[in-house]
Structure 1
Amino acid sequence: MTTHRLEGQHVGGRGRLADYANLVKLPHTVFAMPFALVGATLASYRYPVQALDILLILLAFTAARFAAMGFNRIVDRRIDAQNPRTQMREIPAGKLSVGEATVSVVIAAVVFFTCAALLNRLCLYLAPFALGWILFYSYTKRFTRYAHLVLGFALAIAPVGAYLAIAGEWSRPVGALLVLAGGVLCWVAGFDILYSLQDIDFDRSQGLHSIPAALGARGALAFSRVLHGLSAAQFIALGALLPELGIGYFIGAAVIALMLVYEQSLVKADDLSKIDAAFFTLNGIISVLFFLIVLGERLFA
């Protein structure tokens, strides 16, 4: 089985802007940012939304993600240098120094806290916990196979944070935000397991932990499929909890469930050739589609 692949989804071109964009895998923003907008859209049913709120939410999300990804590259730089799939990342390849990456992470963290303060007091109070969790993720593969779930939780913060940014309080009913976050958590963890299949041999050789390294390719695929089944179920449950979401939402959620089934069909234990399509293309479409479904319900239902 082929386990080492060059990474895709890079920003083309040369220069510092391209280096920093690739340091944090800027194209991967498409995975979670639409879900932040889902949280804000759901909050708009009961609370007023201003253009400045949306701008601050997007800026806060981008800054937090930049800080988390930049921190991950700093923490993992020696591991990345040994892995053929990641040794051309910006720090091990010498395109950016550790100092340059560190300064960019600090600046991003400051921007994140500033945006949180400008949104509301609750966001400011919760900001250290949110940033702390997403930075903590970078260490988890050193001691637990469930790092994928930690990553899923990190991205699940996006819709919850955006909702709180608009509402300043938890959702009613309470379960609405919980199932939305749970759906995102299971979705992210499921596709991260698929992506990690590329590194089974390397992770085992380095004593790193992951579901694929622990369970093997077939076991990891089964684990990922269970997570994606749970994700689809929770997205459907969100519609049942929120009467504002109508039949269009349920149709859209069913389409997303079918897309998750298709995603799983692309990856096989002995064939990882379609990892990029399963990981980036389909999941990017799923996140954008989910937002468009929720926005469509808000505007036209």
Structure 2
Amino acid sequence: MNKLKTILEMIKFEHTVFALPFAFLGAILGSFVENGTWPTLMQIFWITVAMIGARSAAMSLNRVIDATIDKRNPRTSNRAIPAGEISFKEVGIFISVSFVLLFVAAFQLNMLAVYLLPLAVFFLVIYSYTKRFTWACHFILGMTIAIAPLGGWVGATGTISPVAVLLFLVVMFWTAGFDIIYATQDADYDRRNGLHSVPARFGIKRALIIARGSHIISVTALLTLSFISPLGWVFFVGAVICAGIMIYEHSLVSPNDLSKVNVAFFTMNGIISLLMLFFTIGDFLL
């Protein structure tokens, strides 16, 4: 149990809150678009299991793949694997169990979810390597996290529609934006060690501008959902509030002051994902 606790702390299991609400949002919106009703409790259950399995496997793989990099970086050298608190074998067992959860959940949902599993697994694995060869790694991470709402949609409906793709873009650019902000902390380290990121490639000032641009795209897509889906004014109000939070998030950081990056990254983005789910449910209830 102590080893399990260490692994869960290592992968920041509590940060599942970033993606899980969007998976529920995708399931709820997809069910209303395709079926005009709410997803079933069993669909929500298996979507939750799939999300927990997918994120746990992805984050654990990331820690294994980046173990050497983390050990050399003063900011991450105290993580569980570099610090010797957990072994590669123990994490490997946890990864295997996590993938089993994902596979079982997909088979319990529908065949489209099963057919899309190889694509999902590809992104869950590959994104950890992308910082080794491209500064676009943040956008590939965004695509990986955006599988959450798309997966929720597919899990509840067995279909994909243009509205689902738009929701995918909302989460993709939202994630890429805040990951670029988070990466500003390691810009100098990344340059010295041949790693790639937007801050390392373009500098912190331009990186923050690119992050703002990503969030503008995300908010635009979010507001558009109110007009091309069954969502209405309640959801639109929620989207405006979330846009305001993103503006506040960007006000917390500047090229000369990155001391509040963690507040912007963790607190603000956790609030945004929960708010969007809350306003989606509220919209359909009303």
Both proteins in one fold, TM over 0.5: yes
Matching of residue 241 in structure 1 with residue 231 in structure 2: no
2: distance between equivalents of 1:137 and 1:180? Answer: 20
1: distance between equivalents of 2:110 and 2:61? Answer: 26
Contact 2:245 2:268 in 1 (8 A): yes
Contact 1:30 1:288 in 2 (8 A): yes
Residue in 2 that maps onto 1:37 = 24
Residue in 2 that maps onto 1:289 = 275
Residue in 2 that maps onto 1:5 = none
Residue in 2 that maps onto 1:151 = 141
Q: Which shows bigger deviation, 40-49 or 250-259?
A: 40-49
Q: Which of residues 181, 199, 209 in structure 2 aligns to 1:212?
A: 199
1: distance between equivalents of 2:177 and 2:160? Answer: 27
Q: Which shows bigger deviation, 275-284 or 21-30?
A: 21-30
1: distance between equivalents of 2:136 and 2:270? Answer: 23
Quote how far apart the aligned CAs of 1:17 are.
2.9
* 1:186 partner amino acid: F
Q: Which of residues 66, 69, 85 in structure 2 aligns to 1:95?
A: 85
2: distance between equivalents of 1:137 and 1:233? Answer: 25
Matching of residue 165 in structure 1 with residue 152 in structure 2: no
Contact 1:203 1:213 in 2 (8 A): yes
2: distance between equivalents of 1:295 and 1:43? Answer: 12
Matching of residue 111 in structure 1 with residue 101 in structure 2: yes
1: distance between equivalents of 2:105 and 2:275? Answer: 27
Quote how far apart the aligned CAs of 1:75 are.
0.6
Give per-residue Cα distances to partners, 1:71-118, cap 9 Å, x unaligned.
111111000000011011110011110111111111111111111011
1:219-258 to 2 correspondence within 5 Å?
219-242=206-229, 244-258=230-244
Unaligned runs of 5+ in 1: 1-13
Which TM-score applies when normalising by structure 1?
Answer: 0.92
RMSD: 1.1
Contact 1:41 1:298 in 2 (8 A): no
Which TM-score applies when normalising by structure 2?
Answer: 0.97
Residue in 2 that maps onto 1:58 = 48
2: distance between equivalents of 1:291 and 1:63? Answer: 21
Quote how far apart the aligned CAs of 1:18 are.
2.0
2: distance between equivalents of 1:125 and 1:105? Answer: 21
* 2:91 partner amino acid: A
1: distance between equivalents of 2:207 and 2:260? Answer: 16
Q: Which of residues 109, 116, 127 in structure 2 aligns to 1:126?
A: 116
* 1:275 partner amino acid: V
Residue in 2 that maps onto 1:71 = 61
Quote how far apart the aligned CAs of 1:252 are.
1.1
Quote how far apart the aligned CAs of 1:43 are.
2.1
Residue in 2 that maps onto 1:276 = 262
Matching of residue 261 in structure 1 with residue 251 in structure 2: no
2: distance between equivalents of 1:207 and 1:170? Answer: 39
Amino-acid identity (%): 42
Contact 2:139 2:172 in 1 (8 A): yes
1: distance between equivalents of 2:188 and 2:11? Answer: 25
Contact 1:155 1:188 in 2 (8 A): yes
2: distance between equivalents of 1:111 and 1:183? Answer: 27
* 1:99 partner amino acid: K
